[in-house]
Structure 1
Amino acid sequence: MSQLLVTSYGDPRGSVSLDRAVPVVLGADDILVEMEAAPVNPSDLLLVRGDYGVRPSLPSPLGGEGSGG
């Protein structure tokens, strides 16, 4: 599984990387959903530039929307 990571704040062309995600250990009440699509929204670009209003600790996963099954 891959994920987009914000590695630094600034120009999105140099501040985001595509990395392998650490496998998640599921608990008894958890389910795993396979992502089929995940957009990059304007709010994601604002976050990468440091202009969104919050600055998570880096590196940080990027994206808050998606669809899967």
Structure 2
Amino acid sequence: MTVFAMPVFDATVVFEGQELFKGRGAASMWAEKLAAELGSPVTVEKIGTGWALCGNVDGTDCRWGILGQRLKRME
């Protein structure tokens, strides 16, 4: 099962319209899962009051937050 289909039941916060992980620990756990699926490093970054996942896919820097209990790429 892809990590993008797995439900995210961790606590979240909304900052500037983006749903983010509330805690660094939960974000780090999801970063490890995402890195394993993508085959490239994924880190966590503090954005306002929450945490986002950050990585690089096909030469493009990407950030992921949460939407509807699923990981979602942030624009």
TM over 0.5: no
Computing the radius of gyration from Cα coordinates, the structure with the larger value is 1
TM-score, structure 1 length as denominator?
Answer: 0.25
TM-score, structure 2 length as denominator?
Answer: 0.24
Higher relative contact order (CA 8 A, sep 6+): 1
Higher normalized helix content (fraction of residues): 2
Higher normalized strand content (fraction of residues): 2
